[in-house]
Structure 1
Amino acid sequence: MKLIVATIKPFKLEDVREALTEIGVRGMMVTEIKGFGAQSGHTEIYRGAEYAVNFVPKIKLEVAVSASMADQVIETIAKTARTGKIGDGKIFVLDIGQAMRVRTGETNEDAL
């Protein structure tokens, strides 16, 4: 089992969700986050005053899938979230040692 953690631009969330649903992903966790990477923030002008925006709004997706499905999920997220501009995000893949569905007590792949 793998946990795929992806950061993407907020306006790409619905496209990514639809694409993942089409390939059979049955659930995901979504968190609104702020962060920065290569772009290191930027400056904006608000009411005539310039100020630095050090953290950029992002969306963090967490998707638990079977190991056999991980590559397809990664490829789908990357293809769907890509704009070709700086700040498109990152994808991290972690191993899951154990999973349990609280309601039924199912474990590991059955819990996904």
Structure 2
Amino acid sequence: KGIKPNVILYNTLIKGLSNQGLILEAAQLASEMSEKGLIPEVQTFNILVNGLCKMGCVSDADGLVKVMISKGYFPDIFTFNILIHGYSTQLKIENALEILDVMLDNGVD
């Protein structure tokens, strides 16, 4: 009985935790979501990537994108924009340009 949690509900909760700087808790909730048989969306990963970038952990965010790809998800324009903005904020322009190249090489525009 009651409302069964779905991906949208989990994404909302994950985003709320992430916005509060509680990225570890957000990641744990994403893991719990998967354990309950709900399939994360690219948006789920984007929320976590954005949270990591906001905390200044851009290389960790980049690593999460690699995990995302290894699980069969392909980053969208938002994923790439988050990473480019994160690297640019840290003045890591070479890294930002590398992400742009990957984006363009894969036909994302």
Shared fold (TM-score, shorter chain, > 0.5): no
Bigger relative contact order (CA 8 A; separation at least 6)? 1
TM-score by length of 1: 0.26
Please identify which structure carries the higher helix content.
Answer: 2
Please identify which structure carries the higher strand content.
Answer: 1
TM-score by length of 2: 0.26
**Greater C-alpha Rg:** 1
